[in-house]
Every structure is written in C-alpha cells, then in structure tokens.
Amino acid sequence: MTTVLAIDIGATKFAAGIIRADGTLLRRIERPTGNRPTDTLTELVTAIDPNGVDAVGIGTAGPLDRDRGTVSPVNIPYWRTFPLTATVAELVPGVPVALAGDAQCMALGEWWRTRPTVRALLGVVVSTGIGGGLVLDGRPYLGPTGNAGHLGHITVAPDGETCPCGATGCVETIASGPSMVRWALGHGWTPAGEHGGAPDARTLAADARRGVPIARAAFTRAAEALADALLTTAALCDIDEVVVGGGVSAAGSTLIRPIHQALSRRHGMPFLRRLRISATRLGRDAGLYGAAALALAPAPATTGEPCT
C-alpha cells in the first residue's frame, strides 16, 4: 500500500508522520522549532526514517510560494524565501514533494479523515494568527499562488486597527489569540484563570468559562468578527461546514457557541442557514493528515492552472 511522509511546519513545533493511504498513522514524532529550523527539519526527517515512502506532503506556516517551493513564515524569521520543497527533496530523494499552507492542510485532513462526504468545507485555524483552508468537491482549493483561504485578512471593521499585513480591520486584528488578549487587557481584564494567570488566550478562555464578564466579552467580540468572515466566505463559496482548529479552539464551546449564535442571528440568504460549525476532531494532527492527503493526491500545479 502507498505510504507517505507527512510534515507539519509550525512556529513552535515541527511534526512528521508516516501515513498509509488508508489513513493509518504508522509513526509520528515532533520537535520544537528552535532557533535553527533547517537543522530541526533535517533531524526530524532523519529520525522518522522515510525509507520506502512513495511521496512527501508538507503543510507549512505561510506565506509560501508553491511554484518555487519556498516559504517565509511570519513567525519563523530565520526562514525567508527558504527553499523548503528542495530541502526536503534532498533529504528524501526520488519521490514527489507536495507543499501547501498549514490551514489548508488542516482543512484537508479533517475532510479526508472525518468528514469525507462534505462537498464544501472551510477549515479555520484560530491561533497566534487566523488561517483558513478550503476543500471544494473533494479537492483542496489552494489558489493560483497557493495562498487561497487567508480568512484572517478579510476586512470586518473598515475603521478598525491596522493589521500587520498593512490592511485595516482584518478579522485577525480582533479574533486571534493575542488580539483578544490585548483587547481584554485594554478593557480592564486582570488575568486569573486556572493556569496561573498568564495574560494569554488560555487564561482568557478559563476566565470566560468562569463567567468573568470582560473575558466573555472578548470571546463574544471575536466570535462576531469570525462570524462575519465565515458568512462572507460561505456566501461566496456555498460552504456546508466550518471546522475550527488551532490553539484558541481549545477553548471549545467558549469559542464555538458564540460563533454559532452570531451565525444564527446574521445569516441572510436561505442557503447560509445550513452552515454547520464544529471543532476539529483530529486536533493537533489535522495538519499532518492533510499533508498526507496532499501527498496522496497532489493538488494541481499553481500558475496557469484552471480553478477546480
């Protein structure tokens, strides 16, 4: 049976897995990203022992350039226009290497392993930033440059904050973990929570669960912004189901419920009423499974290809 190497490149950790075409995860390892990510990558691939795999799939923090196989992850400053595909091809010679964004792989992994009958799935990663990925009619839609699904940079507040991307009022400026924490602190939140009171999204979620008003307000505000972006995307792409993952999604119903409530209030067109929203079922391995799915059925090449 076809066996692939899946690699998940993130700002805090790299993961690798050997996965069969039937979805069996044969082995899995991970390493902290560290300050020398190229060395981490080499050590990771060597340790997982990719001998005998038929293909490699990589999901990576972006932005990326699929044509050139390069990445410049915002939160891995050591890598700028880093030739990720070529580097992995040297480590695992003689097999094809496919590359996509981490949120795109999260969406593809959830679709492949848990929701294969969904025609139009949107995966959303709510974490340090906000990413997104589309699986339409059973295929990842990556876009001509490979960057489709950048849901975090949909404008939801035209008079809002300037986003690091240069635009104004992106959903990421309201609903990412750090944005929620910044807003709550600016409105008088004193972190307490059950995790030692660190001013982070985890403590904010714990405080929201305990009923701290400003913490709840931060989640409600984020949920309203996310609902705007989700409805925009759903109206454009006729989405059936939204799957929410990423570190902030560990908040569970604290995040999902207010999004659901906001969606229920705001949908306009009848076809938007069927939009379902749920949390990831694969958790932190969703991206790894998606990278495997990408290797098993690579998306079309980028520039010049028709949108399928």
Nearest to Zn ion of 172, 207 (CB atom): 172
CB of 165 to Zn ion, least distance (A): 3
Closest separation between CB of residue 155 and Zn ion, Å?
8
CB of 143 to Zn ion, least distance (A): 17
Does 202 sit near Zn ion (CB under 5 A)? no
Residue 271 burial (CB count, 10 A): 13
Cβ distance 107 to 122 under 8 Å?
Answer: yes
- The alpha carbon dihedral of 11, 17, 19, 23 has a sign of negative
Judged by CB under 5 A, the chain residues 169 through 188 that form the site for Zn ion are: 170
CA-wise closest residue to 215 among 247, 246, 248, 243:
248
Q: Which residues pair with 276 in a beta bridge?
A: 241
- Of 233 and 280, nearer to Zn ion (C-beta) is 233
- Size of residue set near Zn ion by CB under 5 A: 5
Residue 89 Cβ, how far from Zn ion at the closest point, in Å? 32
Q: Which of residues 140-169 bind Zn ion (CB under 5 A)?
A: 153, 163, 165, 167
Whole-angstrom CA distances from 98 to 50, 54, 240 are 15, 12, 27
Under DSSP, is residue 206 helix (H, G, I), strand (E, B) or coil? helix
Q: Which of 50/129 has CB closer to Zn ion? A: 129
The CA distance from 298 to 308, in Å, is: 13
Burial class of residue 94 (count of CB atoms within 10 Å of its CB; 0-12, 13-18, 19+): exposed
Task: Select 163 or 174, whichever has its Cβ closest to Zn ion.
Answer: 163
Q: CB of 107: closest distance to Zn ion in angstroms?
A: 20
Cβ proximity to Zn ion, 22 vs 159, nearer residue: 159
- Give the whole-angstrom CA distance, residue 27 versus residue 217: 42
**Between residues 21 and 165, which has the closer beta carbon with respect to Zn ion?**
165
Tell me the torsion sign for CA atoms 231, 235, 237, 238: positive
Site for Zn ion in 215-274 (CB under 5 A): none
* Residue 164: CB minimum distance to Zn ion, A: 7
User: CB of 296 within 8 A of CB of 4?
Assistant: yes
143, 134 in Cβ contact below 8 A?
A: no
Nearer to Zn ion, 151 or 208 (CB): 151
Please, what is the minimum distance in Å from the beta carbon of residue 128 to Zn ion? 13
Sites of contact with Zn ion (CB under 5 A):
153, 163, 165, 167, 170
